Amino acid sequence: MLGSILAEKRNENNKFFLFVVDNYFKGKELAKRIPVKPEDELMFIDVDPYEPTTEQIDSIRDTILKKKGLPAGVIGIGGGSIMDIAKAVSLMFTNEGSSTLYQGLNLIKKRGIYHLGVPTISGTGAECSMTAVLTGPVKKLGLKCDWTVFDQVVLDPDLLATVPQDWWFYTGMDTYIHCIESETGRFKNAFSHAYAEESLKLCKDVFINEGCGKNAENDEKLMIASLMGGLSLTYSEVGVCHALSYGLSKILGTRHCYANCLAFNHLEDYYGDSVQEFKQMLKKHNIALPQNLSKDWTDKQITDMAEVAYNLPHMWNHAIGENWKEKITIDLIKGLYERL
């Protein structure tokens, strides 16, 4: 199917595709099914242990341009990391200079090249969101604009079959947290609510209701939950948990979905019953999150994380209100990290 979708796009630019594929699939059955032609470029990318960086995106763009010029399109096959790499590279093929120049809202000047995503692990919503999150030398922040969104997405829940249990849980919880945060803040609206409500129903089927657990039927539900959760947050906003999670990722390199779980577990005063429900889901799936992590962190690390989190005003504005600076201070955020 992918082959026929791509056939009509092949004649653009220098008439070849760049495939960026999660290294997990190298040598696996899926890799043999990718419709790569001799003129195409196939890159297997190891997404562990680091999340996508600005340097990595610039390097992929420069290497391909030097070798073959401008591709007809970029195809991403993998999880949130690969989705973001494909989205960012597509934009950087047509926007000059380093991707660090474009971290933020609507800083991209030109539409990118055609890009298509095939998610292989569900939860981040990166397959439908209008941001490509990158870690740069100064900040962890997305290239966010209307052109970031994939031109096409192919959803095949069978691809989730091999996702390990822990990643299945953490990444699935990212969707759950997207919906809870989207729902509990001032940017909530009828559109974001409709998607969050449906996504949460699906998440509960996958993670807590009778018949929950990892199986083919639930993989299909999770794939749709991820998409709907991503749409919900795109038109609303994320909140306190994601702000803390960004600090953990930027300073300690903790992976996004796992960082969210670590933080959400201690945010009962912000997200009440949902945190209780989250704890039930942890128990149900035998997931043990580490405790007392902060005892091994230096005060400088905690301060640095608090500063990263504080500098995400859109999240605090959503979660706490326009006057959030009267309530949220660096010291308060440090206190939140110290709970972990």
User: Where would I find the beta strands (DSSP E) of the chain?
Assistant: 17-22, 41-45, 73-78, 104-105, 114-119, 131-135, 140-144, 152-153
Q: Check residue 158 for interaction with ligand NAD (CB under 6 A).
A: no
Closest to 259 (Cα-Cα) out of 289, 225, 296, 284: 289
CA 81, CA 50: separation in Å to the nearest integer? 9
Q: Check residue 51 for interaction with Zn ion (CB under 5 A).
A: no
Per CB under 6 A, the list member of 16, 17, 19, 24 interacting with ligand NAD is 24
Size of the site for ligand NAD (CB under 6 A): 30
Per CB under 6 A, the list member of 71, 73, 76, 79 interacting with ligand NAD is 79
Stretch 81-100: interaction string toward ligand NAD, x if CB under 6 A: xx-x----------------
Q: Check residue 181 for interaction with Zn ion (CB under 5 A).
A: no
Of the pair 104, 335, the CB lying nearest ligand NAD is at 104
Rounded to the nearest whole angstrom, what is the least distance from the CB of residue 168 to Zn ion in the complex? 15
CA 21, CA 30: separation in Å to the nearest integer? 10
Closest to 80 (Cα-Cα) out of 230, 202, 192, 270: 230
Q: At what angle do helices 313-320 and 240-252 cross, to 10 degrees?
A: 150
Per CB under 6 A, the list member of 71, 76, 78, 247 interacting with ligand NAD is 78
Rounded to the nearest whole angstrom, what is the least distance from the CB of residue 156 to ligand NAD in the complex? 10
Rounded to the nearest whole angstrom, what is the least distance from the CB of residue 116 to Zn ion in the complex? 22
Of the pair 72, 116, the CB lying nearest ligand NAD is at 116
Q: Check residue 167 for interaction with ligand NAD (CB under 6 A).
A: yes
Residue located via tokens 């922040």 = 141
Torsion, Cα of 98, 103, 105, 107 (10° steps) = -20
Of the pair 174, 219, the CB lying nearest Zn ion is at 174
Rounded to the nearest whole angstrom, what is the least distance from the CB of residue 126 to ligand NAD in the complex? 4
Q: Check residue 182 for interaction with ligand NAD (CB under 6 A).
A: no
Which residue type sits at 320?
I
Using an 8 Å Cβ cutoff, are 88 and 143 in contact? yes
Residue 208: partners with Cβ closer than 8 Å, 6 or more residues away: 277, 280, 281, 284
Rounded to the nearest whole angstrom, what is the least distance from the CB of residue 108 to ligand NAD in the complex? 14
Residue 41: partners with Cβ closer than 8 Å, 6 or more residues away: 16, 17, 18, 19, 64, 67, 68, 71
Structure tokens at 162: 């091999």
- Tallying the residues shown for the chain, one arrives at 340
Strand order across the beta sheet in which 17-22 lies? 41-45, 17-22, 73-78, 114-119, 152-153
Give residues 148-177 in contact with Zn ion (rule: CB under 5 A). Answer: 174
Per CB under 6 A, the list member of 159, 200, 302, 306 interacting with ligand NAD is 159
Rounded to the nearest whole angstrom, what is the least distance from the CB of residue 225 to ligand NAD in the complex? 13
Question: What does 126 interact with, of Zn ion, ligand NAD, none (CB < 5 to 8 A by kind)?
Answer: ligand NAD
Question: What does 277 interact with, of ligand NAD, Zn ion, none (CB < 5 to 8 A by kind)?
Answer: none
Q: Check residue 176 for interaction with ligand NAD (CB under 6 A).
A: no
Q: Check residue 143 for interaction with ligand NAD (CB under 6 A).
A: no
Which residues make up the interface to ligand NAD (CB under 6 A)? 22, 24, 47-48, 51-52, 78-82, 84, 120-121, 124-126, 129, 131-133, 159-160, 162-163, 167, 171, 174, 256-257
Which residues make up the interface to Zn ion (CB under 5 A)? 174
